[in-house]
Amino acid sequence: MHTHVGIVGAGPAGLLLSHLLHLHGISSVVLEARTRDHIEHRVRAGVLEQGTVDILREAGVSARMDAEGKRHEGIELRFDGEPHRIPMTELTGRAITVYGQQEVVKDLVARRLDDGADIRFEVADVRIDGLTGDRPTIRFRHGATEQELSCDVIAGCDGFHGVCRPSVPAGELTVYEREYPFGWLGILAEAKPAIDELIYCLHDEGFALYSMRSDHVSRLYLQVSADEDIAAWPDERIWSELATRFRLAGSDWRPNEGPIFDKGITGMRSFVTEPMQYGRLLLAGDAVHIVPPTGAKGLNLAVNDVWIMARALDAWFNHGDDEPLHHYSRDALRRVWRAQHFSWWMTSMLHRFGDDPYELRLQIAQLNNVVESTAYATALSENYVG
């Protein structure tokens, strides 16, 4: 088999790239290790920047997002038991949309299959060869059949644990990373959200985030230690701790409770690989960078990567211009490092790194700067909405 672009990974990056290439008349084959059901129900991020929303609309895959997504024009910062709203749209003219990553994946899979796309689920034993030649090859097993796909370009959209990045010879990539001493305990609950906009909360006991997935499903997070055992957090303890951290001074306000149908602990890390390309291999999304979820940038960075990549491939395949392709890493990394800085800043401002009371007072001083200064609030808003 041969295709213009072999795409490894059917997450939002790989699927959106396949669709954008299709719009430019460029063929692709998408290979995914998991089942379709798995990728369509894997709970991930849920905050879409204005730019991501615009790209999905321009690509013609936004109908359900526009109907079901929740437009938010501000966020709340809560600390010292007091709420402070940041009016993002008033400050920037832009907004965010709350719409689950798994819903974006469902929309893209449906559209690509309707268009006759070649998406192969449950592939195994993926190997990549010939990255510095004109026809790199992806070998894989699909069912009981060994297959070989030659490509003009390979797009590695297969996540941090995928095979694409490790296929680059040692010494060709530089890795920058940081591990944080805490994680997020996240839950999905059948509970009507008690809020209209997200709440980011700093408390003596640690960070908490109040979000939602729909009018009837709440998404909440608690900062816990990096080695925390989820078994130590029965539902009653989770709701009690959420009530404590979100408590307002002089009020009995608390999150609405309901049955928890999903919970888990996610580690916090920052990770960037440079460059984001090697020979005929282009890397995107979690395969090449990870940010702490505090800034809500992971999915949005992946979308930005493949938007840049698709434009570069269009220039090359359809117009004979290879300069944008050579500059893919440079152009994508500008945004990646801005997002890394913003996610680090939000994480540092809102999480407890220990029991040092001096550090806590510095964090509160920084938060007061943000909520009292239009310049600080605008800078946060510009980065948050994208």
For the annotated catalytic residues, the residue numbers are 72, 200, 293, 297, 384
* C-alpha span between 97 and 47 (Å, rounded): 6
| Rounded distance between C-alpha atoms, residue 285 and residue 317, angstroms | 23
As a whole number of Å, the CA-based R_g of the chain is 21
> What's the token pair of residue 361?
């007072």
- Rounded Cα–Cα distance for residues 19 and 29 (Å): 11
Backbone angles phi, psi at 224, to 5 degrees: -135, 170
Report the 10 Å Cβ neighbour count for 191: 19
The CA distance from 310 to 22, in Å, is: 10
Bridge partners (DSSP) of residue 30 are: 7, 119
Cβ contacts of 279 within 8 Å, gap of 6 or more: 131, 132, 133, 136
280 and 150 in contact (C-beta within 8 Å)?
Answer: no
Q: Strand, helix or coil at 347?
A: helix
E-strand stretches of the chain: 2-8, 28-31, 47-48, 70-72, 75-79, 82-86, 96-98, 118-120, 123-129, 137-142, 145-156, 174-189, 199-203, 206-212, 218-225, 260-274, 277-278, 281-283, 289-290
Q: Which residues pair with residue 184 across a beta bridge?
A: 223, 266
Phi, psi values for residue 198, rounded to 5°: -65, 145
3 state SS of 354: coil
Is residue 386 a contact partner of residue 50, using CB atoms and an 8 Å limit?
A: yes
In 297-373, which residue ranges form alpha helices assigned H by DSSP? 298-319, 323-326, 328-350, 357-372
